[in-house]
């Protein structure tokens, strides 16, 4: 999970490489010297390995868990890291992850696999991905909180598998400056913590406009978000939340949904109804196509973003690799250096997605794949806008080109109908993952495409850029008094036993991040 120098497989797959006492003393000395007595004073926060930590932490390389960047030292810190340090936080270390954030189980790493604290029958469980290292570091109390990145569920899925809270804000609220890109239009910095109040406090500190990030929402849009939600937030506080209308997507009852997760979902909904909330069935028909669209769009963006890693301009060659030795021996210049470098530097999953993306962007496939996937993405966004009571603040008359006339008329007719207005909801509640975490051995025996189905419930919110949070709820027969095991020693000695919770996902309209966090806290309070 955490490793100041993520070079050994053991540290990255089993435990946190302990924060050296001298480094702790130096960090505290700097905090006192600079008078940084902020709200995060002295709190240890871990950073996913695809977020730059900069020259203030020279021992923390930013490798994105890839051999292509195994010695990369970023010349600057990501804006989110700078904000943490300015508010008194201590950067504990870098967390292991899937290479460049591509994966659902944190097994595709040059530093070795991440192992969940939970075990089943003596076999380690998947920690989820791609922010699995951050999730395990938080779950095992190796840090107060951690930052991850979420492209299609990479914060929420690990949170569900590890029994903690994972929050993905609305796209554009948190700066992406200093993040090693996977898919620009979906990458979002997220927060992992042990409870919702901690996630909220960290989110509020990081929710700032950043002029360095072209995707950061400008102050004018942020002001519109604040004004649009000012009245709603006062009416939907935790203490006055009985009027909330909760959408239950009927399209999320898929064949892949396992019985334990389904029972936890139904029990959570029933308890919310008992507390006075209103349950409203909603229809999101594009859900079944969302996953396919995501695995066209995300690889397409990745193939473009990763083209720069050629071993010449970006990345470093392995000195003892065959390609380096051949390049040294081949003085004629006939060898294609970058192809050998990319073949050896990238892992199998990254190469698979680069090939998928390159094909989707090719002239022969562009219309049949990439363009169609973009159309499905618009339909997914329209589905959400149709069921939420709050209008999407980004959809002004001039902000988006209208859909095709027939689709626009259909959406308008449905949205203006009395039945549609009565069925509008404040939030949606769904499972975070269709199943409990599988064992690592089972994942390794799966077809690579089979693991993609783990993202079926998280991808739609990512395609639409909506805020969502995963909150753990106990499984049937697990008393809350037993709690989540908190002993790091037990984790080091072989694990905590089987998982005791399932993740429930709350999704809100764009900009309704505070309402999503409040509903997450309500679910947390039911236990």
Could you read off the pLDDT of 257-300 as tens digits, one per residue?
Answer: 999 999 999 999 999 999 999 999 999 999 889 999 999 999 99
166-201 burial, b for 16+ CB within 10 Å, e for fewer?
bbbbbbbbbbbbbbbbbbeebbbbbbbbbebebbbb
Beta strand ranges found along 388-463 (DSSP E): 427-431
Average predicted confidence (pLDDT) for the chain: 85
Percentage of residues in the chain with pLDDT exceeding 90?
65
**What predicted TM-score, i.e. pTM, was given to this entire model?**
0.88
Query: What's the pLDDT band for 22 if we cut at 50, 70, 90?
Result: low
pLDDT at 241 over 60: no
Which pLDDT score is estimated for 16? 43
pLDDT at 404 over 60: no
Tokens for 52, please give them.
């730059």
pLDDT for the residue numbered 313: 73
Catalytic residue among 15, 66, 104, 130: 130
* pLDDT score for 26: 66
CB atoms within 10 A of CB 426: 26
Helix (H, G, I), strand (E, B) or coil at 273: helix
3 is catalytic: no
Quote the CA–CA distance of 466 and 390 in Å, as a whole number.
13
Torsion on CA atoms 145, 147, 150, 155, rounded to nearest 10: -20
Query: Which one from 3, 15, 43, 48 is the annotated catalytic residue?
Result: 48
527 pLDDT above the threshold of 90? no
Known catalytic residue at 56: no
pLDDT at 59: 75
Quick one: 138 exposed, middle or buried, by C-beta within 10 A (0-12, 13-18, 19+)?
A: buried
Is residue 46 within 8 A of residue 147, CB to CB? The reply is: yes
Which burial class, exposed, middle or buried, applies to 429 when counting CB atoms under 10 A from its CB (0-12, 13-18, 19+)?
A: buried
Candidate from 24-33, 102-111, 370-379, 402-411 with smallest mean pLDDT:
402-411
pLDDT band at 521 (very low <50, low <70, confident <90, very high): very high
Determine the average pLDDT of the residues in 219-231.
80
* Spatial CA neighbour of 470 closest among 137, 152, 156: 156
130 is catalytic: yes
Helix axes 372-387, 405-416, angle to 10 degrees: 10
Of 308-312, 319-323, 501-505, which has the strongest mean pLDDT? 501-505
Average pLDDT on 316-341 reads: 57
The pLDDT score that the predictor gives to residue 449 is: 80
Residues 6+ apart with CB under 8 A from 194: 138, 139, 141, 145, 164, 165
Cβ density class 14-34: b for 16+ within 10 Å, e for less: bbbbebeeebeeebeeebeee
Determine which of 133-142, 217-226, 307-316, 371-380 has the lowest per-residue pLDDT on average. Answer: 307-316
Higher pLDDT, 202 or 404: 202
Given the residues 66, 126, 154, 286, the one annotated as active site: 154
In this prediction, residue 293 carries a pLDDT of 97
**What is residue 336's predicted lDDT score, i.e. its pLDDT?**
63
Residue 322 has pLDDT above 70, yes or no: no
Residue-wise DSSP of 83-143? HHHHTT-EEEEEE--SGGG--SSS---TT---EEEEEETTEEEE--SSSHHHHHHHHTTSS
Taking CA atoms, 56 is separated from 74, 86, 256, 389, 464, in Å, by 10, 12, 46, 45, 35
pLDDT at 418: 46
Residues 6+ apart with CB under 8 A from 242: 275, 276, 277
Strands 145-150 and 44-48 come out as parallel
């Amino acid at each position: 999970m955490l490793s100041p120098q993520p070079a050994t497989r053991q540290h990255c797959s089993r435990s946190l490489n302990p924060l050296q006492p001298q480094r702790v003393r130096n960090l505290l000395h700097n905090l006192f010297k600079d008078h940084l007595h902020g709200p995060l004073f002295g709190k240890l926060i871990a950073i996913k390995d695809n977020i730059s930590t900069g020259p203030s932490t020279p021992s923390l390389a930013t490798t994105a868990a890839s051999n292509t960047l195994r010695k990369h030292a970023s010349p600057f810190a990501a804006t989110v890291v700078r904000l943490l340090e300015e508010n008194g936080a201590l950067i504990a270390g870098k967390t292991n992850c899937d290479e460049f954030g591509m994966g659902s189980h944190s097994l595709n790493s040059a530093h070795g696999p991440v192992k969940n604290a939970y075990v089943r029958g003596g076999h380690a469980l998947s920690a989820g991905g791609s922010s699995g290292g951050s999730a395990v570091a938080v779950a095992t109390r190796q840090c107060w909180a951690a930052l991850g990145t979420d492209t299609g569920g990479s914060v929420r899925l690990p949170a569900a598998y590890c029994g903690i809270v994972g929050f993905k804000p609305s796209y554009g609220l948190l700066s992406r400056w200093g993040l090693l890109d996977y898919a620009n239009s979906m990458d979002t910095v997220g927060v992992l913590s042990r409870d919702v109040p901690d996630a909220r406090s960290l989110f509020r500190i990081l929710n700032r406009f950043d002029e360095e990030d072209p995707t950061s929402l400008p102050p004018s849009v942020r002001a519109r978000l604040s004004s649009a939600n000012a009245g709603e937030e006062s009416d939907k506080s935790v203490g006055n939340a009985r009027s909330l209308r909760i959408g239950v997507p009927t399209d999320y009852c898929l064949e892949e949904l396992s019985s334990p997760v389904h029972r936890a979902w139904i029990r959570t909904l029933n308890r919310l109804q008992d507390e006075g909330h209103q349950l409203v069935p909603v229809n999101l028909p594009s859900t079944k196509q969302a996953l396919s669209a995501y695995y066209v769009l995300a690889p397409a963006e990745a193939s473009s973003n990763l083209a720069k890693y050629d071993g010449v301009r970006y990345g470093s060659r392995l000195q003892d690799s065959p390609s380096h030795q051949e390049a040294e021996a081949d003085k004629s210049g006939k060898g294609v250096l970058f192809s050998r470098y990319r073949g050896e530097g990238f892992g199998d999953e990254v190469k698979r997605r680069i090939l998928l993306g390159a094909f989707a962007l090719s002239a022969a496939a562009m219309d049949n794949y990439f363009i169609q996937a973009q159309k499905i993405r618009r339909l997914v966004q329209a589905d959400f806008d149709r069921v939420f009571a709050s209008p999407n603040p980004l959809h002004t008359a001039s902000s988006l080109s209208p859909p095709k006339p027939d689709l626009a008329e259909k959406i308008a007719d449905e949205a203006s109908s009395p039945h549609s207005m009565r069925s509008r909801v404040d939030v949606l509640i769904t499972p975070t993952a269709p199943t409990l975490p599988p064992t690592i051995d089972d994942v390794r025996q799966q077809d690579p495409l089979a693991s993609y189905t783990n993202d079926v419930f998280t991808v739609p919110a990512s395609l639409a850029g909506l805020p969502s949070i995963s909150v753990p709820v106990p499984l049937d027969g697990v008393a809350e008094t037993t709690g989540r095991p908190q002993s790091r020693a037990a984790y080091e000695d072989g694990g905590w036993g089987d998982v005791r919770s399932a993740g429930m996902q709350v999704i809100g309209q764009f900009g309704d991040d505070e309402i999503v966090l409040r509903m997450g806290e309500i679910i947390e309070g039911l236990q």
